[in-house]
Amino acid sequence: MSIKSGVAGVLDSVLDRTIVPGYSRLGYAVRSMRWDDDPGPSALSGKSVVVTGAGAGLGLAAARGAARLGAVVVVVVRNLQKGENARDAICRAVPSADVRVEICDVANLADVRTLGARLCERVERIDVLVHNAGVMPPSREETVEGHELTLATHVLGPMRLTESVLPALAAADDPRVILVSSGGMYAQSLVTDDIDYRASEYKPATAYARTKRMQVALTPQLNRRWAAHGISTYCMHPGWADTPGVAESLPTFRRITEPLLRTPDQGADTILWLAATEPAPPGGTFWHDRRPRPTHYVRRTRESSGELETLWQYCCAATGITQ
């Protein structure tokens, strides 16, 4: 290892542990200066990329970036008008883009099954599936199936959708599944005695971060399960990005940190890198700014194998996944 690369590695670790610089546009600027592995301009040519929550923010940025790399893009949104607006925005940026719109509420598991069946009929294969849809409701809400909304959106829906499109993923040469988590998960441990947030007082940011912790905790297990179909599964966090979701759900945070926030394109960079880089990185891993990251920084957040098994069993039962 050269002195230069050693210093760069130390600086990267320091940025990762000092949250404000590392998660901000400053961290992105410092790290990106030494990247020499940008995917080529046609890295996703001939491939199909499905992005949930693609109407705005990180999802729109990821979908637009995938189109720039040559992919056929399927944007999954809850609202048809938002989907059409997203398609128009992508096509303005990439006039040659092939963008398709699918309507689905990923918190509604029946709706997700229907979407999965449609996708298997309408696309020959799915090369990349990006689970980006996210919510942070101000008060506790339940889905039609009786699950807490953030859990259903961030954990149950992605599991169910991936299972529903396994034939399309397996048809690809190098299929990849990417879960978009959050650095906020570092503050939370895995809660398995109140997974649907029924017993404790609901706090929006806590509920959000808890389910993002669940995504990270489940990624190795999901990777092992889906590897049987040739799929590599990743989890990543984008840092602090300036998105409509942040503005709506965390207005005070945004007002204070706005000069430091990343652009949506910067936040989505690692999504696109994981989707397109060759060879595929090892699955079951957690990423930020194109590097694998620790999943814990303090001992108190570490989960036991029993807690992981409890969460896994609960999610499988809730989504109808046969083990």
Model confidence over 290-320: pLDDT tens digits? Answer: 999 999 999 999 999 999 999 999 999 999 9
* Higher-pLDDT residue of 18, 274: 274
Q: What is the pLDDT of residue 14?
A: 56
What is the pLDDT of the chain when averaged over all its residues? 93
* Higher-pLDDT residue of 244, 173: 173
Position 87 in a domain: yes
Q: What is the pLDDT of residue 279?
A: 96
pTM equals: 0.93
Q: What is the pLDDT of residue 2?
A: 47
Q: Find the angle CA(154)-CA(155)-CA(156) to the nearest 5 degrees.
A: 115
With cut-offs at 50, 70 and 90, classify the pLDDT of residue 13. Answer: low
Q: What is the pLDDT of residue 7?
A: 47
d(C-alpha 116, C-alpha 57), whole Å: 24
Position 3 in a domain: no
Instruction: Order across the sheet with 128-131: list the strands.
Output: 98-103, 72-77, 48-52, 128-131, 176-180, 232-236, 285-288, 291-292
Q: What is the pLDDT of residue 8?
A: 53
Is residue 176 a contact partner of residue 275, using CB atoms and an 8 Å limit? yes
Position 147 in a domain: yes
- Total number of domains constituting the chain: 1
Q: β-strands 291-292, 232-236: how paired?
A: unpaired
Q: What is the pLDDT of residue 17?
A: 61
Q: Report the CATH number that the domain containing residue 161 is assigned in CATH.
A: 3.40.50.720
pLDDT digits (tens, 9 = 90+) for 200-209: 999 999 999 9
With cut-offs at 50, 70 and 90, classify the pLDDT of residue 65. Answer: very high
pLDDT digits (tens, 9 = 90+) for 219-263: 999 999 999 999 999 999 999 887 777 777 777 777 877 788 999
d(C-alpha 312, C-alpha 291), whole Å: 26
With cut-offs at 50, 70 and 90, classify the pLDDT of residue 12. Answer: low
* Higher-pLDDT residue of 254, 106: 106
Position 46 in a domain: yes
pLDDT digits (tens, 9 = 90+) for 16-54: 666 567 889 888 998 998 899 999 999 999 999 999 999
Q: What is the pLDDT of residue 250?
A: 78
Judged against a pLDDT cut of 70, whether residue 286 lies above it is answered with: yes
Position 1 in a domain: no
Q: What is the pLDDT of residue 156?
A: 99
> Residue 226 is which amino acid?
W
With cut-offs at 50, 70 and 90, classify the pLDDT of residue 212. Answer: very high
- Give the list of residues 6+ apart from residue 246 with CB closer than 8 angstroms, or none: 57, 240, 253, 254, 261
Position 18 in a domain: no
Judged against a pLDDT cut of 50, whether residue 4 lies above it is answered with: no
d(C-alpha 323, C-alpha 320), whole Å: 9
d(C-alpha 268, C-alpha 237), whole Å: 9
pLDDT digits (tens, 9 = 90+) for 122-158: 999 999 999 999 999 999 999 999 999 999 999 999 9
Active site residue 234: no
Is residue 113 classed as helix, strand or coil in its secondary structure?
Answer: helix
Mean pLDDT for the stretch of residues 272-279: 98
- Give the list of residues 6+ apart from residue 18 with CB closer than 8 angstroms, or none: none
Q: What is the pLDDT of residue 1?
A: 44
- Domain span including residue 95: 37-319
**Percent share of the chain, pLDDT over 70:** 94
Position 13 in a domain: no
Q: Of the residues 208, 234, 297, 314, which is catalytic? A: 208
pLDDT digits (tens, 9 = 90+) for 66-96: 999 999 999 999 999 999 999 999 999 999 9
Position 6 in a domain: no
The closest alpha carbon to 164, from 126, 191, 214, 194, belongs to 126
> What DSSP designation does 112 have?
H
Rg of the chain (C-alpha set): 19
